[in-house]
Amino acid sequence: MNQDAFEVRQYLTDKKDDLALKLDSLVDGYWGAWRDINRQIISQSANPDRTDKVGKVAPSIRIYKTKNHNRVTLRWRIYENSWARLNVAKSNKQTLRYAKELKRNKDGTTSRFQLVKNAESWEVSLIDEFLIKAEPIITLINMIHQSLKLLNNTKTLETEEIQNAE
């Protein structure tokens, strides 16, 4: 790989890492707000006028590490206190899962419909606010990832051409 391609690859990798940090801070902000609202609901649960339910939908970031690059994905999970599921997991000696992951689309994102369907009414505004800020970052991360894949494919082709020429 020539020097220019190496510099471009390094720049894209650094930019993707910066965007992943921004996305991580957005997720942390969501979790902070989500946790605070849940605590308020729990503390006021004795009040018969309150009908709010504890929230259950929240995002997390997953980084798939590969040889040439790291794939950053945003996963949405349902965190519920399901004692039946916990007891089944213990009795069948299955691995204990604290959350169920929502299905993602082919592009790696979760549809708003899936999120709203599983969320409590107060969570919808929190999710919408998060998505407005996060979707441009997610799109850029995906574009950079595709560019890095193309650069790595070019590097592989160049290596094969050199080996065939010898």
Q: In a 3-state reduction of DSSP, which class is residue 61?
A: strand
For the chain, how many structural domains are there in total? 1
* CA 134 to each of CA 18, 70, 130: distance values in angstroms, whole numbers, following the listed order: 14, 19, 6
Residue ranges in the chain assigned as alpha helix (H): 3-43, 83-91, 112-118, 121-165
Residue 33 is assigned to a structural domain of this protein: yes
Contact 80/48 with Cβ under 8 angstroms?
Answer: no
Q: Name the DSSP class of 99.
A: -
**Beta-carbon neighbour count of residue 59 at 10 Å?**
21
Domain annotation covers residue 1: no
Give the Cα separation of 166 and 162 in Å (integer).
6
Q: Does residue 5 sit within a domain?
A: no
Contacts of 87 (CB under 8 A, 6+ apart): none
Is 3 part of a structural domain of the chain? Answer: no
Residue 144 lies in a domain: yes
Chain-centroid distance of CA 127 in Å reads: 13
User: pLDDT tens per residue, the chain (166 residues)?
Assistant: 577 888 888 899 899 999 999 999 999 999 999 888 888 888 887 777 666 788 888 888 887 766 666 778 888 988 876 544 445 545 555 555 677 888 888 877 888 898 999 889 899 999 999 999 999 999 999 899 889 888 887 765 566 555 555 5
Residues 100 and 86 sit within 8 Å (Cβ to Cβ) = no
What pLDDT score does 85 carry? 47
- Residue 64 in domain: yes
Which domain range does residue 33 map to? 12-153
Let me know: does 9 contact 15? Beta carbons within 8 Å.
Answer: no
- Domain membership of residue 159 (yes or no) is no
Backbone angles phi, psi at 68, to 5 degrees: -100, -25
Instruction: Take residue 133 and report the two structure tokens written for it.
Output: 């800020």
110 domain-assigned: yes
Among 159, 158, 151, 156, CA closest to 8: 151
